[in-house]
Structure 1
Amino acid sequence: MGCRSHDRVLEIGCGRGHAVALLCEILTEGKITAMDRSATAIAAAIALNAAAVAAGRAEFRAVTLAEADFARATFDKVLAVNVNLFWTRAPDKELELLRSWLAPGGELFLCWEFPSAQGAGAAERASRSLEAAGFAVRTKMAGRLACLRARPRGA
């Protein structure tokens, strides 16, 4: 993902906050905002990352992506791991929001570990949705793993 110490990062579907804990080691001057639709997961994530929350380097929100409200050009990087929304349906509203929240030069990273190597079809569906929403996409597959790296076209 190439995070820099001063990046502003959004994690979608943060679960219990383990990726946040790892990213906070890098984001010494930056900040991560993490969201999950589960209030129970958010409570666990806050507990796990209490020091980063107290230091103002991590913030958590119990909200869906479609309901989230952030300012324009807020994030340098957006990350989602094993969030099926991007390949199970056409997430037009969500992708429009993400485009508006990415700072100039910002990037979106969508990663999955599928139960079988047949996940390539799901990654391809997600890639098509991103491209239709105005993103330039690079896809990497390794067995059951897929990662899409996307930037808004023209950015």
Structure 2
Amino acid sequence: MPAAATPDRLVRAVEMMGLGPADRVLEIGCGRGAAVALVCERLAGGTITAIDRSHTATAAAKERNTAAVAAGTAVLHTTALEDAAFEDGAFDQVFAVNVNLFWVRSPARELRLISRWLAPGGRLHLFWQAPGEAKAAEIAVKVPPAVTAEGFHVETVTASPLVHVQARRS
């Protein structure tokens, strides 16, 4: 069965992260694995670990990325972010696309986990394809203070065409 077309928001998000070939990457909320495939195309020696709370989603992601999983380049887990267990400093980059918990409520607990999992100097990328300019502006205003409050240094905030908050672990 052919893979579904890759949404443009995922293509743009992966391009904006500036991945290095040896990066160790964590995707939060991987869905059916389209971004996993895009990240794997950019890795040579690096890895992507992807999590989603849906077993159906991770099963589809594993099917879509069979070769990368077999090669050990991609590792997928069915787990909620707050239940995940990774070693401190395990990732160079962490990203999430359209994961609303980072702006609809306080993400303090999740950001503390991410901060532990990021290597020193590691980067966090939070992306949303907001339905309209007003919602994009709202997200772009709400997220940076929450990220800063948990010890991250916000480096960039863009609101169009894709909301992107990039922060570095302090």
Range of TM-score over shorter length:
over 0.9
Q: Corresponding residue for 1:129? A: 146
| Cα distance in structure 2, aligned partners of 1:64 and 1:55 | 25
The structure with the largest helix share of the pair is 2
Amino acid at match of 2:58: I
TM-score (norm 2): 0.87
In structure 1, distance between residues paired with 2:26 and 2:140: 21
The answer to whether the 8 Å contact 1:106/1:151 transfers is: yes
Offset at 1:27? 1.0
Q: TM-score, normalised by structure 1?
A: 0.95
Matches within 5 A, 1:7-86: 7-86=23-102
Q: Which runs of 5+ in 2 are unaligned?
A: 1-16
Which structure features the higher share of strand residues? Answer: 1
- What is the aligned-residue identity percentage? 51
Q: CA deviation at 1:123?
A: 2.4
Q: Note the alpha carbon deviations across 1:113-154, whole angstroms, 9 max, x for none.
A: 0011112112221111101111111211214x210000122x
- Alpha carbons 1:87, 1:123 under 8 Å: kept: no
Distance 1:122 1:3 in 2: 24
Equivalent runs, 1:69-108 vs 2, <5 Å? 69-108=85-124
- Report the 3-state secondary structure (helix = DSSP H, G, I; strand = E; otherwise coil) of the residue aligned with 1:22: helix
Which of residues 132, 139, 142 is equivalent to 2:160? 142
C-alpha distance in 2 between matches for 1:110 and 1:19: 13
